[in-house]
Structures are given as C-alpha cells and as structure tokens.
Amino acid sequence: MGRRHPSSLEATFVVLILAVVFGRSTDYEVFLMARMSEAHVAGASTEDAVRLGAERTGRVITAAALLLIVVTGTFTLSGLSIMRFLGVGMILALVLDATLIRMLLVPVLVKLMVEANW
C-alpha cells in the first residue's frame, strides 16, 4: 500500500490558516477603520485620524491577536504533527497580520491616500 505524504495535507491547512486569519483580520480592520473614520468625521485631519485610530484600537487588536495566539498555540502541544503545523502556522499568520498589516501597512496607506480614503 502507498503511504500518504504529509505535503498533500499541508496545502489544505494553508488554506484553512488563511481563511481563519482573513476572518480575524476583517474584524481588526473594522475596529481600526471605524475609529479612523469617526475621528475624521469629528474634524480630524487624515494624519490625526490615523494616529487616533491606531491609539484607540492598538490595545484591542493586540489583545485579540494574543488571545487567538494562545488558543491556537495549544495546537502545538498536540502529538499529531499536522496539528502542530496548524498551530505554528496560525501563530505566525496572526502575528504578521496584527502587526505588519493592521497596525503598520493599513495606517501608512490611509495616510498616503489622504482625502481619497473618505
């Protein structure tokens, strides 16, 4: 009998990781953009709206990401290598998404696009 290769399951898990992180990142994006939009509607410039949005949501996004990292991090304790792969993949994806994309890239892009955002 042929042996199944773990690489055939890895593609499925990568898709699963991306789907879960996309769902979480949408939540982070709503938090961040809503605060920026509220600040802009209240009369803040784009630069001030970005700063205020990041200040008001930074802790919420960080806490949500840390909570998910802890929860999915428990997968790394599993005896199954597939579950460990899923745990490590989720941790890496959540850290990258919450830090690089939501708290760095999005504010920079909003600031660069100035009035086109609103």
What tens digit of pLDDT does each residue of 22-50 get? 887 787 888 899 999 999 999 999 999 99
Contacts for 117 with CB less than 8 Å, ≥ 6 apart: 36, 40, 46, 110
Residues 86 and 80: beta-carbon distance below 8 Å: no
Q: How many angstroms separate the CA atoms of 18 and 78, rounded?
A: 21
Q: How far is CA 96 from the centre of its chain?
A: 7
For the ranges 12-21, 33-42, 92-101, which has the lowest average pLDDT? 12-21
Q: How far is CA 80 from the centre of its chain?
A: 26
Categorize the per-residue pLDDT at 109 as very low, low, confident or very high, splitting at 50, 70 and 90. very high
Q: How many angstroms separate the CA atoms of 2 and 61, rounded?
A: 46
The alpha helices in the chain, defined as continuous H runs, are 7-41, 46-73, 81-95, 106-113
Token code pair at residue 12: 């499925």
73 vs 55, 64, 83, 92, CA distance in Å? Answer: 27, 14, 10, 10
> Taking the model in full, what pTM does it have?
0.74
